[in-house]
């Protein structure tokens, strides 16, 4: 049993164990106004055991056990460690009941209801954690590519894909479970079935802003302190949000942050060479496809099924599609890179016409990408199931087969990446929006 008595007293352990301690996560959540409503039978914590417990989790989810429907239906009591009555008279006026916004992507678990005593921090850290989710990347990379700097965006995609591959693969090799609940309140459960060391949200939340800073400083005119402050604030917000959400220990977040700095140090001197190779070498398409598919096969062989493997294939597929589109654009003379003679770039004065054209490009482009993704998803999984003789009535079950999930992720997101980098800019030229 995890005992968090003496809420504000740090246990006398080694520093490594201390920063991995779920009680430290629970303390931080308590400080930020998050209270659990665990049933009586949850007094004994059930630590998240990762993908190796998939069958037990699926059975529990179907039966409504644990943090699912039955847990919510049971008469809730606030975790004894926290000592607050959820309906106590005189409670703060901004207190609200809440549940995780999205169910677990693998088990279907909807999560345990909790109390929010500080709505500002709840919305702030919800925003912070969204900066590491799929929908943010679908919006952010295209916006930068179409409206700000195509070179910066496609190089960001390269770093993002490789960074996520390294992080997710490390998770499946280290195999640490998520912080135990209770005492930790699971404000988010979407990734609850994955392993947790290191935090890949912390990795992407560090890689994107610092790589953006690395690529734009000197290329664009802005103060060094401003760019560094924005990058650091972005990274800290994402990292802290993962502890707030109850998804990671402090040690896992710190490791993810430092791990990414090492990866960026490796990519900084070679990123320009990688980009030039993708554009100019005649064998680049073959190398791109073989390398990205091979890395996906490596990731899928590390452990039993988990959502992290699909996320890895998704990132590699997006990176492959964007790289192939870069090669095609260069070969067809459609590359939109700013000439070196124009550097450093300055932000043009904002006017109504420029803003409207940027918004129009963004909404048309994102609409094309979302429609592409929807159509590809709707057709690829049934096709693969028929191809390999698997039932397609349960999509979640079908996607637990490597023969379905790996090609599905690659096909869908390589097409999405290609459409973003090559087809949509061509469409803008046709519509006179380039």
User: Parallel, antiparallel, or unpaired: how do β-strands 96-98 and 114-116 relate?
Assistant: antiparallel
**DSSP bridge pairs for 34:** 116
Task: Report the C-alpha gap between 151 and 275 in whole angstroms.
Answer: 9
248 labelled catalytic: yes
Active-site hit among 248, 292, 327, 401: 248
Residues 6+ apart with CB under 8 A from 371: none
Q: Out of 30, 117, 201, 327, which one is annotated catalytic?
A: 201
> Would you call 282 a catalytic residue per the annotation?
no
Residues 100 and 187 sit within 8 Å (Cβ to Cβ): yes
Cα separation, 403 vs 301, whole angstroms: 12
Catalytic site residues?
201, 248
């Amino acid at each position: 049993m995890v005992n968090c008595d003496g809420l504000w007293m740090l246990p006398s352990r080694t520093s490594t164990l201390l920063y991995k301690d779920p009680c430290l996560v629970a303390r931080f959540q308590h400080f930020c106004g998050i209270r659990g409503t665990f049933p009586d039978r949850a007094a004994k914590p059930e630590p998240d055991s990762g993908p190796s417990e998939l069958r037990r989790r699926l059975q529990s989810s179907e039966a409504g056990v644990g943090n699912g429907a039955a847990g919510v239906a049971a008469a809730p009591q606030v975790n004894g460690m926290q000592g607050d009555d959820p309906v106590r008279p005189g409670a703060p006026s901004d207190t609200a009941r809440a549940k995780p916004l999205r169910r677990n992507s693998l088990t279907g678990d909807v999560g345990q209801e909790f109390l929010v005593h500080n709505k500002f921090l709840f919305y702030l850290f919800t925003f912070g954690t969204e900066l590491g989710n799929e929908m943010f990347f679908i919006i952010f990379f295209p916006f930068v590519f179409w409206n700000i700097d195509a070179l910066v965006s496609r190089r960001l995609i390269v770093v993002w894909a490789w960074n996520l591959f390294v992080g997710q693969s490390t998770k499946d090799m280290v195999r640490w479970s998520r912080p135990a609940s209770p005492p930790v309140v699971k404000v988010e459960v979407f990734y609850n079935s994955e392993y947790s060391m290191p935090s890949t949200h912390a990795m992407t939340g560090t890689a994107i802003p610092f790589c953006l800073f690395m690529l734009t400083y000197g290329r664009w005119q802005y103060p060094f302190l401003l760019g560094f402050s924005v990058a650091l604030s972005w990274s800290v917000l994402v990292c802290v949000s993962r502890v707030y959400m109850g998804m990671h220990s402090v040690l896992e977040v710190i490791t993810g942050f430092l791990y990414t700095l090492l990866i960026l140090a490796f990519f900084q001197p070679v990123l320009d060479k990688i980009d030039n190779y993708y554009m100019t070498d005649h064998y680049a398409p073959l190398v791109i496809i073989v390398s990205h598919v091979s890395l996906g096969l490596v990731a899928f062989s590390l452990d039993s099924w988990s959502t992290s493997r699909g996320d890895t294939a998704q990132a590699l597929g997006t990176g492959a599609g964007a790289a192939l589109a870069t090669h095609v654009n260069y070969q067809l003379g459609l590359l939109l890179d700013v000439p070196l003679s124009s550097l450093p770039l300055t932000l043009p004065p904002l006017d109504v016409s420029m803003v409207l054209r940027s918004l129009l490009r963004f909404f048309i482009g994102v609409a094309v990408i979302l429609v592409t993704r929807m159509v590809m998803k709707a057709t690829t999984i049934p096709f693969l199931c028929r191809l390999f003789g698997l039932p397609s009535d349960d999509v979640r079950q079908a996607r637990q087969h490597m023969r379905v999930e790996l090609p599905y992720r690659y096909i869908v997101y390589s097409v999405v990446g290609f459409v973003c980098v090559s087809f949509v800019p061509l469409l803008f030229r046709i519509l006179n929006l380039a």
